[in-house]
Amino acid sequence: MGHDHSHDHDHGSELSEVDARVRALESILVEKGYVDPAALDVLIETYETKVGPHNGAHVVARTWSDPEFRDWMRADATAAIRSLGYFGRQGEHMVAVENTPERHNMVVCTLCSCYPWSVLGLPPVWYKSAPYRAKAVRDPRGVLADFGVTLPSGTDIRVWDSTAEVRYLVIPMRPEGTEGWSEEELARLVTRDSMIGTGLALTPGQLAEGEAA
């Protein structure tokens, strides 16, 4: 299973085999009139800049910093998230589940790949894979270990099955040492994996290390 890590890439002129195939397929579809290049550009721009985990990070940061918004998320996550401008396909009915020292939540879709696009963007490949879908239910601690997460033995792990009717957003625990941080600063600690439950929010130290690397 893959993980939510950033990597440096060589932006030279040589394309990878996958990139070359994608370019070739795109060219064929455009030439045959099946795809409008302008529409394709808008779609790509939308998912790169308007839809993605940064939306969910904003929601989590607001939940951490605003007690009234936290209460709203508990009562009606769909409406609370919509109030921040995040709604649409596969985000029609949202439920927020909060991690605590006693309980850790993790999300899976056992049937296919139901996923809250409006706050997390497109699902990662590993989320859709059969091994993850099966192991998350059978051995959630093993899945967490695969992602480098080890929880105390007394922590209860609850796995939520995302469906076509309901999709879940995990609210990770707020890291210590973030008192007085702004929403923008807090959002930088929130990772995609932490909102699925296969990871934890970054600590201030981890954030600093990542920025220095």
Residue 13 designated active-site:
no
- Cα–Cα separations (whole angstroms), residue 53 to 4, 28, 73, 141, 142: 11, 31, 18, 24, 24
The one-character DSSP state at 156 is E
The CA-CA-CA angle for residues 49, 25, 27, to 5°, reads: 85
Nearest to 60 by CA among 27, 5, 99, 11: 99
Please identify which of the residues 16, 27, 83, 112 carries the catalytic annotation. 112
Residue type, 105: N
How is residue 49 written in tokens?
């800049």
Q: Determine the Cα–Cα distance for residues 116 and 187; give it in Å rounded to an integer.
A: 18
Please identify which of the residues 114, 118, 162, 194 carries the catalytic annotation. 114
Residue 112 designated active-site:
yes
What SS3 state is found at 133? Answer: helix
The one-character DSSP state at 89 is T
Please identify which of the residues 109, 118, 162, 194 carries the catalytic annotation. 109
CA contacts within 13 A on the Cβ side of 66: 14
**First and final C-alpha spacing in the chain:** 24
Residues labelled as active-site residues = 109, 112-114
